[in-house]
C-alpha cells in the first residue's frame, strides 16, 4: 500500500495535471463556477483525486451558490484534517485529505444555511472524483 505522505513533489507532478498539482499540492483554488462538480446532483461518493480516499457523499452536498461544491459534513471526521489558515489576510480553516494531505478547500461555520450542521465544506471540484452510485 502506498504511503501517500512520503511521495515527493516530483512524483506528484507526474501523477497530477498542472492544474490538479496547483490546487491539491500547492493549496491553490480553482475559479468559481467552472468545476465539474459545482452543480452536479449525481448520487455517489466523492473521493480525493490525488489518492482515492473516500471523503464526502452526495447526500451531504448542498447548493450554497458559492461557485464550488459544498458539503455540510465529511464522510467521517478521520477522513479529513482541518488546519488554521491565515493566508491572504484572512483567518480560515483549510481542509486536507487525511490520507495524502492534499488541499481540498476550506470549511466555514455560521453562515446560516438550512443544513443539519452549521458548516459548509467548500471544496474544489478539481480535488475530487465522483463515483456514481449504482442503481
pTM of the shown model: 0.93
Catalytic site includes residue 100: no
> Within 13 A of 37's CA, how many CA atoms are on the CB side?
27
Summarised one tens digit per residue, pLDDT across range 52-91 is 999 999 999 999 999 999 999 998 889 999 999 888 888 8
Q: Considering the candidates 48, 51, 100, 122, report the single residue annotated as catalytic.
A: 122
Q: Which domain holds residue 104?
A: 4-132
The secondary element (H helix, E strand) that includes residue 92 is strand 92-97
Q: Which residues of 53-90 are buried (b: 16+ CB within 10 A; e: fewer)?
A: bebbbbebbeebeeebbbbbbbbeeebbeeeeeeeeee
How many domains is the chain partitioned into structurally?
Answer: 1
pLDDT tens per residue, range 81-121: 999 988 888 888 999 999 999 999 999 999 999 999 999 99
Q: Residue 18 is part of a domain; what is its CATH number? A: 2.170.150.20
Predicted local distance difference test score (pLDDT) of residue 1: 63
Amino acid at each position: 500500500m502506498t504511503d501517500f505522505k512520503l511521495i515527493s513533489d516530483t512524483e506528484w507532478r507526474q501523477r497530477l495535471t498542472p492544474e490538479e498539482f496547483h490546487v491539491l499540492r500547492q493549496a491553490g483554488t480553482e475559479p468559481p463556477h467552472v468545476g465539474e462538480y459545482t452543480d452536479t446532483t449525481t448520487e455517489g461518493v466523492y473521493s480525493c483525486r490525488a489518492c482515492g480516499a473516500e471523503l464526502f457523499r452526495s447526500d451531504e452536498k448542498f447548493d450554497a451558490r458559492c461557485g464550488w461544491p459544498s458539503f455540510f459534513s465529511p464522510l467521517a471526521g478521520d477522513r479529513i484534517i482541518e488546519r488554521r489558515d491565515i493566508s491572504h489576510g484572512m483567518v480560515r480553516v483549510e481542509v486536507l485529505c487525511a490520507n495524502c494531505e492534499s488541499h481540498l478547500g476550506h470549511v466555514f461555520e455560521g453562515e446560516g444555511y438550512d443544513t443539519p450542521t452549521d458548516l459548509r465544506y467548500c471544496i474544489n471540484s478539481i480535488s475530487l472524483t465522483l463515483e456514481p452510485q449504482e442503481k
